[in-house]
Structures are given as structure tokens and as C-alpha cells.
Amino acid sequence: MTHRSRVKAVAGGGVLLAAFLTVLLLPGFVSDFRASELAYVAIYAIAILGLSIVTGFSGQISLGHGAFMAIGGYTTAILVADHGVTDLWTIPVAGVVSGVAGLLLGVPALRLTGLHLALATFAIAVAFPSVLKKAEGVTGGSQGINLFGVEGLTGAIAGVDVFGRHLTFNEWLYYLSWSIFAVLGVSAWLLLRGRTGRALRAVRDSHVAATSVGINPAAYKTAAFGLSAFYAGVAGSLFAIATSFVNPATFPVALSLTLLVGAVVGGLGSLWGVIAGAVFVQFLPIWIGKLPEIEALPASVREIANEPGIPSVAYGAAVILVLLLLPGGAAGVVRKLRTGL
């Protein structure tokens, strides 16, 4: 190991340790409510990570990852509410169910161009709530499934004791979500920096070249889509636990689009970008809601900040501006996508 790379490794380790400590200790400094908001950041981060795997590594976009979250969320809700399974055990199951759905869609998706996949996944996002509504026998129709007060939901009422420390439900949710994000994030990082990542990038950049060095592009692309859906399913499962309730309106088109907003703003690809995107998605409406309290701002800005629709305007504008202006976040996407098409 050279001196320079050793310094780099130590610095990298330091940053990771600092991040770990921040996440570990943060709930001690913030309100219970803020802990739940931060838990949602981790949940979004998991889903956005999944989305980044498809986009960053196969050059395609999915506008329907909210539907995979729905599959994961409903899997958890049904298992917990109807079959008495403890919520923790349903999380991997939800990921697998959603991942299998992703694999099933991934096979036909191989034949689609980037634009056609966007169309197909958008259609899924729009139509999926109707499917959920219609499958009343399993999903409870428009009524949905309530988890609050159900036995399998850990700590909803009394909180949880972990390693001798008492955690409120929101704190528990926070640690649960961030732990899972850490595990999935590190796995994705390990997976994608090695041989598999190189293979996927090769597939994205050139189908022919990849095939000629013995990579099977179809298998890799399908696997990427399945893995991506697995992540979304896990996120959906946590989402269901966090809201303690699912119905078709829990997973609207807007959710799918919000994930894309996070992915675009985060720049697609790096773990830090994914967290940044998730923070943006979760906190932008909250920050905008706080604007009226800032006296330094002109009255007109403070007045409109609380109007309905303003967060959406900001989301939409952010997507367009990031794609237009940010070479780090978006030009990276552009560079990746250019060869992907």
C-alpha cells in the first residue's frame, strides 16, 4: 500500500466512522417526531438506491418503483395483519416477493428501449393502485389494511427495549431503517464495485462488447432489475411498518415520481448521493413550510411558501435545474445514459 492510498483509506474510514456515529447518536439530540422523519429518509434512500441500480447500471429509467414498494408494503401488511407474522421477519420476504416481481418484469423489459421501459413502468405506476383496489380479497380494497395495534407490529404502542435501552416506536423505526440501509448500501457497494459492477457497466456501455468478453447482457440486466425491485420492496415493507397502514393511496404515482426526483437530485450512483436525494425528498416540503418563519425573507416569498402545491413546484423545478445545471449530479447521469441508449 502506498502512502497516498493509505491516507485515502484512513480518511475514507474516518468519514464512514463519523457517519456511523452521527446516525447512531442523532436520535439523542432530536425530537421523537424528527426521528420518524429521519427514518423516512432511510426508507426513501433504500428505494432510491434500488432505482439507481437500474438507472446507473443499465442506463434505463423506471417510473414505476412506487409499485414495487407497494408490493413490498402489502406483503408485509398481509403477513402481519392476516397471518400473525412478526413484522421484522416480513421485511426480507417483502423484498424477495418484490424482487421476483422485478425479475418477471425484467425479462420482458430487456427487449424495451429506455423510452419504452419508461412508458411501461409509468403505466404500471398509474394502474397499480386500481389493481390493488380490485384485489379486495387479499388487499382489503380501498379500505386497505390497518397494522396499528396488531400484535406483529413491533413496539407500536409500548416501544422496544434493545440492548437494555428503551426506544420509542419512532426511534426503533429510525434504527431499524438506517441499519437496513447500511446493510443494503454496503452490499450494493461491494457488489457493484467488483466484477459484477464492471459487467453491468459494460452491458450499459456496449451490448456487443460485453457479449464478446463472455458477459451475458440479458442475465445481468434482468438481475439488475430484480435486485432493484428487491430494494424497493424492502423500502415498501418499512414504509408500511412506519405508517402502520396501507391502502392503494399509500403508493400513488406521485411516490414513483418522487423516487425519481430523489434519484436525479442525488445524481444516481454514489451512496452519498442516494442519501442526499432522500434527504431532499423528505425534507424539502418541511423546509419550505418553515420559510414563513424566516423574517429575513421578503414578505411575498413567506406568503406563498405555505400555499398548496409549492413543494411540487420546487420538486419539479429542482429536477429540471439539476439536469440542466449540475455537472456533478446530473451530467454524470447524462454521461451514463448517453452510452446506455
Partner 1 sequence: MADFLQQVVSGLATGGIYASLALAIVLIHRATRVVNFAQGEMAMVTTYVAWTLIDHGVSYWLSFVLTLALAFVGGVLVHQAVMRPFQDAPVVTAVMVTIGLFILLNGLAAWIWSSEVKAFPSAFSTRPIDVGGVVFSLQDLGVIAVSLGVVAGLFALFRFTKAGLALRAAAFNPATSRLAGVPVGRMLAAGWGLAAVLGAVSGMMVAPSVFLDPNMMRPVLLYALAAAVLGGLDSPLGALVAGLLLGVLLNLLGAYVDFVGTDLRLPVALAIILAVLLVRPAGLFGSVAARRV
Among 26, 100, 291, 323, binds partner 1 (CB under 8 A): 323
Q: What radius of gyration, in Å, describes the C-alpha atoms of the chain?
A: 20
Task: For partner 1, give the closer residue by CB, 30 or 131.
Answer: 131
**Residue 327 sits in the site that holds partner 1 (CB under 8 A):** no
**Residue 334 sits in the site that holds partner 1 (CB under 8 A):** yes
Task: For partner 1, give the closer residue by CB, 94 or 105.
Answer: 105
**Residue 7 sits in the site that holds partner 1 (CB under 8 A):** no
Shortest spacing between CB 286 and partner 1, in angstroms: 16
Instruction: Kindly give the pairing relationship between strand 165-167 and strand 245-246.
Output: unpaired
Residue written as cell 396501507? Answer: 246
**Residue 126 sits in the site that holds partner 1 (CB under 8 A):** yes
Among 19, 37, 133, 207, binds partner 1 (CB under 8 A): 133
Of 73-81, 182-190, 195-203, 312-320, the segment contacting partner 1 by CB under 8 A is 312-320
**Residue 149 sits in the site that holds partner 1 (CB under 8 A):** no
User: Grid coordinates representing 301?
Assistant: 416569498
Among 43, 47, 51, 60, binds partner 1 (CB under 8 A): 60
Task: For partner 1, give the closer residue by CB, 152 or 217.
Answer: 217
**Residue 130 sits in the site that holds partner 1 (CB under 8 A):** yes
Which backbone phi and psi does 146 adopt, to 5 degrees? -95, 135
Name the β-bridge partners of 167: 160
Among 123, 138, 183, 219, binds partner 1 (CB under 8 A): 123
Given a contact cutoff of 8 angstroms between Cβ atoms, the answer to whether 274 and 266 are in contact is yes
Shortest spacing between CB 236 and partner 1, in angstroms: 19
Task: For partner 1, give the closer residue by CB, 97 or 261.
Answer: 261
User: Grid coordinates representing 86?
Assistant: 412478526
**Residue 317 sits in the site that holds partner 1 (CB under 8 A):** yes
**Residue 61 sits in the site that holds partner 1 (CB under 8 A):** yes
Shortest spacing between CB 69 and partner 1, in angstroms: 17
In the range 83-122, which residues lie near partner 1 by CB under 8 A?
A: 108, 111-112, 114-116, 118-120, 122
Task: For partner 1, give the closer residue by CB, 95 or 217.
Answer: 217
User: Grid coordinates representing 119?
Assistant: 412508458
- In the chain, the amino acid numbered 329 is G
**Residue 340 sits in the site that holds partner 1 (CB under 8 A):** yes
Among 227, 253, 271, 284, binds partner 1 (CB under 8 A): 253
Q: Which residues bind partner 1 (CB under 8 A)?
A: 59-61, 63, 108, 111-112, 114-116, 118-120, 122-124, 126-127, 130-131, 133-134, 253-254, 257, 260-261, 264, 304, 307-320, 323-324, 330, 333-334, 337-338, 340-341
